[in-house]
Amino acid sequence: MQELRFLGAAGTVTGSRFLLSTPGGKVLVDCGMYQGDRELRQRNWAAFPVPSHDIDAVVISHAHLDHCGWLPRLVRRGYSGPVYCSPWTAEVAAIVLRDTARLQEEDAEFAATRGYSRHHPPLPLFDTADAEKAISLFRDLEHGATAWLTDDMSVRAHRAGHILGSSTLEFVVGERTVVFSGDLGRESHPLLNPPDPLPETDYVVIESTYGDEVHGSRHADVIAAPIRQAFGRGGSVLIPAFAVDRTPVLLMTLRELMRTGDIPPVPVYVDSPMALAALEVYREAVREGGRDIRVRVRDLPFDRSTRSTRASCTSCPARRSPSGSTTRTGRASSSRRLGWPPAGGRCTTWPTWHPIRAT
Protein backbone atom coordinates (compact mmCIF):
# COMPACT_ATOMS: atom_id res chain seq x y z
CA MET A 1 0.00 0.00 0.00
CA GLN A 2 1.20 3.48 -0.81
CA GLU A 3 0.35 6.39 1.44
CA LEU A 4 1.03 10.12 1.66
CA ARG A 5 0.62 11.77 5.06
CA PHE A 6 0.73 15.49 5.72
CA LEU A 7 2.63 15.94 8.98
CA GLY A 8 3.05 19.72 8.79
CA ALA A 9 2.34 22.85 6.75
CA ALA A 10 -1.37 22.00 6.90
CA GLY A 11 -3.57 24.93 7.90
CA THR A 12 -0.41 27.02 8.14
CA VAL A 13 2.55 27.72 5.88
CA THR A 14 5.47 26.53 8.01
CA GLY A 15 6.61 23.16 9.31
CA SER A 16 6.66 21.39 5.93
CA ARG A 17 6.81 17.63 6.53
CA PHE A 18 5.28 14.95 4.31
CA LEU A 19 5.64 11.21 4.71
CA LEU A 20 5.60 8.86 1.73
CA SER A 21 5.10 5.22 2.73
CA THR A 22 5.35 2.14 0.54
CA PRO A 23 5.83 -1.54 1.29
CA GLY A 24 9.55 -0.85 0.77
CA GLY A 25 9.89 1.87 3.39
CA LYS A 26 9.16 5.41 4.53
CA VAL A 27 10.57 8.68 3.22
CA LEU A 28 10.14 12.08 4.83
CA VAL A 29 9.87 14.93 2.33
CA ASP A 30 11.12 18.12 4.00
CA CYS A 31 11.62 18.40 7.73
CA GLY A 32 10.65 21.96 8.49
CA MET A 33 10.35 23.92 11.67
CA TYR A 34 7.13 25.68 12.62
CA GLN A 35 7.62 29.42 12.79
CA GLY A 36 5.36 32.23 13.87
CA ASP A 37 3.31 32.78 17.00
CA ARG A 38 3.69 30.88 20.25
CA GLU A 39 1.10 28.26 19.40
CA LEU A 40 2.91 27.39 16.18
CA ARG A 41 6.33 27.33 17.82
CA GLN A 42 5.00 24.98 20.49
CA ARG A 43 4.26 22.45 17.76
CA ASN A 44 8.01 21.98 17.33
CA TRP A 45 8.02 20.30 20.73
CA ALA A 46 5.17 17.92 19.93
CA ALA A 47 5.76 14.19 19.55
CA PHE A 48 6.40 13.10 15.98
CA PRO A 49 3.81 10.55 14.83
CA VAL A 50 6.43 8.28 13.22
CA PRO A 51 9.35 6.73 15.13
CA SER A 52 12.58 8.16 13.77
CA HIS A 53 14.07 4.71 13.21
CA ASP A 54 11.14 3.84 10.91
CA ILE A 55 12.20 6.52 8.41
CA ASP A 56 14.54 5.26 5.67
CA ALA A 57 15.48 8.61 4.12
CA VAL A 58 14.77 12.32 4.27
CA VAL A 59 14.72 14.56 1.18
CA ILE A 60 14.95 18.34 1.58
CA SER A 61 13.63 20.75 -1.05
CA HIS A 62 15.56 23.83 0.08
CA ALA A 63 17.41 25.50 2.92
CA HIS A 64 14.72 27.67 4.45
CA LEU A 65 14.06 26.90 8.09
CA ASP A 66 10.44 25.94 7.55
CA HIS A 67 11.63 23.16 5.22
CA CYS A 68 14.82 21.92 6.93
CA GLY A 69 14.89 23.46 10.43
CA TRP A 70 13.47 20.48 12.31
CA LEU A 71 16.20 18.11 11.07
CA PRO A 72 18.35 18.48 14.21
CA ARG A 73 15.32 17.69 16.32
CA LEU A 74 14.66 14.56 14.25
CA VAL A 75 18.31 13.61 14.76
CA ARG A 76 18.00 14.29 18.48
CA ARG A 77 15.10 11.82 18.45
CA GLY A 78 17.30 9.13 16.91
CA TYR A 79 17.27 9.58 13.13
CA SER A 80 20.62 8.67 11.55
CA GLY A 81 19.74 7.89 7.91
CA PRO A 82 20.62 9.86 4.79
CA VAL A 83 19.33 13.39 4.12
CA TYR A 84 19.27 14.07 0.37
CA CYS A 85 19.42 17.62 -0.98
CA SER A 86 21.22 19.61 -3.65
CA PRO A 87 24.86 20.53 -2.90
CA TRP A 88 24.00 24.24 -2.62
CA THR A 89 21.11 23.46 -0.31
CA ALA A 90 23.51 21.49 1.87
CA GLU A 91 25.85 24.49 2.08
CA VAL A 92 23.15 27.04 2.90
CA ALA A 93 21.25 24.68 5.22
CA ALA A 94 24.42 24.07 7.23
CA ILE A 95 24.63 27.81 7.89
CA VAL A 96 20.95 28.03 8.80
CA LEU A 97 21.00 25.01 11.12
CA ARG A 98 24.13 26.13 12.96
CA ASP A 99 22.71 29.61 13.43
CA THR A 100 19.39 28.26 14.65
CA ALA A 101 21.04 25.88 17.11
CA ARG A 102 23.04 28.75 18.53
CA LEU A 103 19.88 30.87 18.91
CA GLN A 104 18.11 27.96 20.58
CA GLU A 105 20.96 27.66 23.05
CA GLU A 106 20.97 31.40 23.67
CA ASP A 107 17.22 31.41 24.22
CA ALA A 108 17.52 28.60 26.76
CA GLU A 109 20.28 30.46 28.58
CA PHE A 110 18.23 33.65 28.56
CA ALA A 111 15.17 31.81 29.87
CA ALA A 112 17.31 30.43 32.68
CA THR A 113 18.39 33.92 33.75
CA ARG A 114 14.82 35.23 33.64
CA GLY A 115 13.21 32.16 35.15
CA TYR A 116 10.56 31.61 32.49
CA SER A 117 10.34 28.17 30.96
CA ARG A 118 8.27 25.10 31.49
CA HIS A 119 11.52 23.13 31.54
CA HIS A 120 13.79 23.23 34.57
CA PRO A 121 16.43 23.94 33.54
CA PRO A 122 15.27 25.51 30.24
CA LEU A 123 16.11 23.37 27.23
CA PRO A 124 16.87 24.24 23.62
CA LEU A 125 14.76 22.51 20.98
CA PHE A 126 18.11 21.21 19.74
CA ASP A 127 21.72 22.18 20.22
CA THR A 128 24.85 22.62 18.13
CA ALA A 129 25.81 18.95 18.44
CA ASP A 130 22.40 17.95 17.01
CA ALA A 131 22.83 20.42 14.14
CA GLU A 132 26.32 19.09 13.34
CA LYS A 133 25.03 15.53 13.35
CA ALA A 134 22.20 16.50 10.99
CA ILE A 135 24.66 18.26 8.66
CA SER A 136 26.85 15.13 8.58
CA LEU A 137 23.90 13.19 7.14
CA PHE A 138 23.60 15.33 3.98
CA ARG A 139 23.94 13.42 0.70
CA ASP A 140 24.19 15.20 -2.66
CA LEU A 141 21.21 15.12 -4.97
CA GLU A 142 22.11 17.23 -7.99
CA HIS A 143 19.41 18.76 -10.15
CA GLY A 144 18.64 16.25 -12.86
CA ALA A 145 20.00 13.35 -10.82
CA THR A 146 18.02 10.40 -9.45
CA ALA A 147 18.53 8.63 -6.12
CA TRP A 148 16.95 5.39 -4.97
CA LEU A 149 15.55 5.81 -1.47
CA THR A 150 13.97 2.40 -0.93
CA ASP A 151 13.51 -0.71 -3.09
CA ASP A 152 10.38 0.81 -4.61
CA MET A 153 10.90 4.57 -4.40
CA SER A 154 13.24 6.99 -6.15
CA VAL A 155 13.52 10.75 -6.31
CA ARG A 156 14.68 13.11 -9.04
CA ALA A 157 15.44 16.77 -8.34
CA HIS A 158 14.57 19.69 -10.62
CA ARG A 159 15.58 23.32 -10.29
CA ALA A 160 12.94 25.34 -8.40
CA GLY A 161 14.45 28.84 -8.74
CA HIS A 162 13.26 29.85 -5.27
CA ILE A 163 16.58 30.20 -3.42
CA LEU A 164 20.05 28.92 -4.26
CA GLY A 165 19.92 25.12 -4.56
CA SER A 166 16.15 24.87 -4.21
CA SER A 167 14.52 21.82 -5.78
CA THR A 168 11.21 20.55 -6.97
CA LEU A 169 11.15 16.86 -6.10
CA GLU A 170 9.74 14.14 -8.35
CA PHE A 171 9.16 10.80 -6.66
CA VAL A 172 8.52 7.57 -8.49
CA VAL A 173 6.54 5.39 -6.13
CA GLY A 174 5.89 2.00 -7.66
CA GLU A 175 3.92 2.71 -10.84
CA ARG A 176 3.02 6.27 -9.92
CA THR A 177 4.72 9.62 -9.67
CA VAL A 178 4.17 12.43 -7.20
CA VAL A 179 5.81 15.84 -7.41
CA PHE A 180 6.44 18.14 -4.45
CA SER A 181 6.86 21.64 -5.77
CA GLY A 182 8.74 22.93 -2.73
CA ASP A 183 8.48 26.70 -2.58
CA LEU A 184 7.94 28.12 -6.03
CA GLY A 185 10.47 30.36 -7.68
CA ARG A 186 9.67 33.22 -10.01
CA GLU A 187 10.67 33.90 -13.55
CA SER A 188 11.88 37.35 -12.52
CA HIS A 189 14.39 36.47 -9.79
CA PRO A 190 17.36 38.82 -10.37
CA LEU A 191 19.97 36.23 -9.48
CA LEU A 192 18.54 32.78 -10.07
CA ASN A 193 17.45 31.07 -13.24
CA PRO A 194 13.72 30.38 -13.57
CA PRO A 195 12.32 27.07 -12.37
CA ASP A 196 12.51 24.01 -14.59
CA PRO A 197 9.15 23.06 -16.08
CA LEU A 198 7.25 20.65 -13.85
CA PRO A 199 7.57 17.07 -15.05
CA GLU A 200 4.51 15.11 -16.06
CA THR A 201 3.12 13.44 -12.96
CA ASP A 202 0.15 11.67 -11.40
CA TYR A 203 -0.02 13.86 -8.30
CA VAL A 204 1.28 17.31 -7.35
CA VAL A 205 1.70 18.67 -3.83
CA ILE A 206 2.11 22.37 -4.43
CA GLU A 207 3.05 25.33 -2.27
CA SER A 208 0.15 27.77 -1.91
CA THR A 209 1.41 30.43 0.49
CA TYR A 210 0.70 33.22 -1.97
CA GLY A 211 -2.03 31.35 -3.78
CA ASP A 212 -4.54 34.12 -3.11
CA GLU A 213 -2.29 36.98 -4.19
CA VAL A 214 -1.06 38.50 -7.39
CA HIS A 215 2.48 39.63 -6.80
CA GLY A 216 2.94 43.27 -7.65
CA SER A 217 6.13 45.18 -8.15
CA ARG A 218 8.71 44.68 -5.46
CA HIS A 219 12.16 45.74 -4.55
CA ALA A 220 13.32 48.65 -6.63
CA ASP A 221 9.98 50.36 -7.22
CA VAL A 222 8.86 49.92 -3.65
CA ILE A 223 11.97 50.74 -1.68
CA ALA A 224 13.41 53.67 -3.61
CA ALA A 225 10.96 56.30 -2.30
CA PRO A 226 11.27 55.59 1.46
CA ILE A 227 15.04 55.33 1.14
CA ARG A 228 15.21 58.69 -0.63
CA GLN A 229 12.90 60.19 1.98
CA ALA A 230 15.02 58.90 4.87
CA PHE A 231 18.26 60.09 3.32
CA GLY A 232 16.69 63.40 2.44
CA ARG A 233 16.16 64.18 6.09
CA GLY A 234 19.62 63.00 7.04
CA GLY A 235 18.49 59.68 8.39
CA SER A 236 19.32 56.08 7.68
CA VAL A 237 17.40 52.98 6.72
CA LEU A 238 17.31 49.72 8.61
CA ILE A 239 16.06 46.86 6.45
CA PRO A 240 15.12 43.60 8.15
CA ALA A 241 16.14 41.19 5.42
CA PHE A 242 14.31 38.08 6.47
CA ALA A 243 15.53 34.74 5.12
CA VAL A 244 19.02 33.93 3.91
CA ASP A 245 18.47 34.72 0.25
CA ARG A 246 16.97 38.17 0.77
CA THR A 247 20.28 39.81 1.49
CA PRO A 248 21.90 39.13 -1.91
CA VAL A 249 18.70 40.18 -3.67
CA LEU A 250 18.49 43.38 -1.64
CA LEU A 251 22.13 44.19 -2.25
CA MET A 252 21.65 43.77 -5.99
CA THR A 253 18.57 45.96 -5.85
CA LEU A 254 20.34 48.70 -3.91
CA ARG A 255 23.25 48.66 -6.35
CA GLU A 256 20.87 48.98 -9.25
CA LEU A 257 19.06 51.89 -7.57
CA MET A 258 22.40 53.63 -7.06
CA ARG A 259 23.44 52.95 -10.65
CA THR A 260 20.25 54.49 -11.99
CA GLY A 261 20.45 57.42 -9.58
CA ASP A 262 17.20 56.58 -7.85
CA ILE A 263 18.98 56.66 -4.53
CA PRO A 264 22.26 58.34 -3.68
CA PRO A 265 25.42 56.25 -3.38
CA VAL A 266 25.76 55.48 0.33
CA PRO A 267 27.49 52.79 2.33
CA VAL A 268 25.51 49.64 2.93
CA TYR A 269 26.17 47.47 5.94
CA VAL A 270 25.09 43.90 6.47
CA ASP A 271 24.63 43.09 10.11
CA SER A 272 24.02 39.39 10.40
CA PRO A 273 26.60 36.64 10.73
CA MET A 274 24.21 34.24 9.03
CA ALA A 275 23.54 36.58 6.10
CA LEU A 276 27.27 37.18 5.64
CA ALA A 277 27.97 33.45 5.64
CA ALA A 278 25.15 32.84 3.15
CA LEU A 279 26.48 35.68 0.98
CA GLU A 280 29.77 33.83 0.73
CA VAL A 281 27.96 30.74 -0.57
CA TYR A 282 26.05 32.85 -3.11
CA ARG A 283 29.34 34.44 -4.21
CA GLU A 284 30.85 31.01 -4.65
CA ALA A 285 27.89 29.99 -6.80
CA VAL A 286 28.21 33.15 -8.89
CA ARG A 287 31.96 32.51 -9.35
CA GLU A 288 31.27 28.94 -10.43
CA GLY A 289 28.41 30.05 -12.67
CA GLY A 290 26.34 26.92 -12.08
CA ARG A 291 22.91 26.11 -13.49
CA ASP A 292 21.19 28.00 -10.69
CA ILE A 293 22.74 31.37 -11.52
CA ARG A 294 21.69 33.63 -14.38
CA VAL A 295 24.40 34.04 -16.98
CA ARG A 296 24.29 37.84 -16.79
CA VAL A 297 25.13 37.84 -13.07
CA ARG A 298 28.88 38.30 -12.83
CA ASP A 299 29.28 39.36 -9.21
CA LEU A 300 27.48 40.33 -6.04
CA PRO A 301 27.88 43.92 -4.90
CA PHE A 302 29.43 45.35 -1.77
CA ASP A 303 31.97 42.61 -1.53
CA ARG A 304 34.49 44.51 0.52
CA SER A 305 31.96 46.41 2.56
CA THR A 306 30.13 43.37 3.77
CA ARG A 307 33.29 41.47 4.56
CA SER A 308 35.13 44.20 6.31
CA THR A 309 32.38 46.13 8.03
CA ARG A 310 29.97 44.59 10.44
CA ALA A 311 27.65 47.17 11.87
CA SER A 312 25.52 46.32 14.84
CA CYS A 313 22.57 48.49 15.59
CA THR A 314 23.97 49.43 18.97
CA SER A 315 26.92 51.02 17.17
CA CYS A 316 24.85 51.86 14.16
CA PRO A 317 26.71 53.78 11.46
CA ALA A 318 23.28 55.13 10.66
CA ARG A 319 23.72 57.56 13.51
CA ARG A 320 26.66 59.22 11.86
CA SER A 321 25.75 59.43 8.22
CA PRO A 322 23.07 58.30 5.81
CA SER A 323 23.35 54.62 5.06
CA GLY A 324 21.40 51.51 4.32
CA SER A 325 21.62 48.57 6.64
CA THR A 326 20.18 45.12 6.43
CA THR A 327 19.49 42.71 9.22
CA ARG A 328 17.31 39.74 9.89
CA THR A 329 13.75 40.41 10.87
CA GLY A 330 14.06 37.88 13.64
CA ARG A 331 16.79 39.95 15.18
CA ALA A 332 15.06 43.24 14.61
CA SER A 333 11.95 41.98 16.35
CA SER A 334 13.93 40.96 19.39
CA SER A 335 14.67 44.07 21.38
CA ARG A 336 16.82 42.28 23.91
CA ARG A 337 19.18 41.12 21.20
CA LEU A 338 19.53 44.31 19.26
CA GLY A 339 19.19 46.87 22.00
CA TRP A 340 16.50 48.40 19.84
CA PRO A 341 15.75 51.23 19.31
CA PRO A 342 19.23 52.73 19.06
CA ALA A 343 19.40 55.73 21.34
CA GLY A 344 19.67 59.02 19.50
CA GLY A 345 19.59 57.52 16.02
CA ARG A 346 17.19 58.50 13.27
CA CYS A 347 16.64 55.20 11.56
CA THR A 348 13.82 54.41 9.24
CA THR A 349 12.81 50.81 9.55
CA TRP A 350 11.37 49.48 6.36
CA PRO A 351 9.74 46.13 7.04
CA THR A 352 10.60 44.39 3.80
CA TRP A 353 8.68 41.19 4.36
CA HIS A 354 6.36 39.96 7.01
CA PRO A 355 8.52 38.14 9.54
CA ILE A 356 6.40 35.01 9.60
CA ARG A 357 6.04 34.48 5.87
CA ALA A 358 8.68 31.87 5.29
CA THR A 359 8.88 31.20 1.61
Beta bridge partners of 237: 324, 348
Q: Measuring CA to CA, which residue among 52, 56, 134 is closest to residue 90?
A: 134
Tally the C-alpha atoms within 13 A of residue 343's C-alpha that lie toward its C-beta: 1
CB of 183 to Zn ion, least distance (A): 4
Closest to Zn ion by CB, 195 or 342: 195
Binding-residue pattern over the window 182 to 211 for Zn ion, x denoting contact by CB under 5 A: -x----------------------------
Q: Measuring CA to CA, which residue among 36, 88, 35, 28 is closest to residue 63?
A: 88
Chosen residue from 7, 18, 27, 64 binding Zn ion by CB under 5 A:
64
Identity of the residue numbered 240: P
For 114, 185, 352, 353, the CA distances from 197, given in Å and listed in that order, are 52, 11, 29, 27
CB of 143 to Zn ion, least distance (A): 16
Closest to Zn ion by CB, 209 or 349: 209
By the rule CB under 5 A, 359 interacts with Zn ion: yes
Region from 24-32, 207-215, 271-279, 351-359 binding Zn ion, contact rule CB under 5 A: 351-359
By the rule CB under 5 A, 245 interacts with Zn ion: no
CB of 214 to Zn ion, least distance (A): 19
By the rule CB under 5 A, 22 interacts with Zn ion: no
Alpha helices (runs of H) in 115-172, residue ranges in sequence order: 128-136
Closest to Zn ion by CB, 12 or 236: 12
Dihedral, 59, 63, 65, 71 alpha carbons, nearest 10: 40
Region from 143-151, 178-186, 298-306, 309-317 binding Zn ion, contact rule CB under 5 A: 178-186
Torsion 29-34-35-37 (CA) sign: positive
**What residues make contact with Zn ion under the rule CB under 5 A?**
64, 183, 359
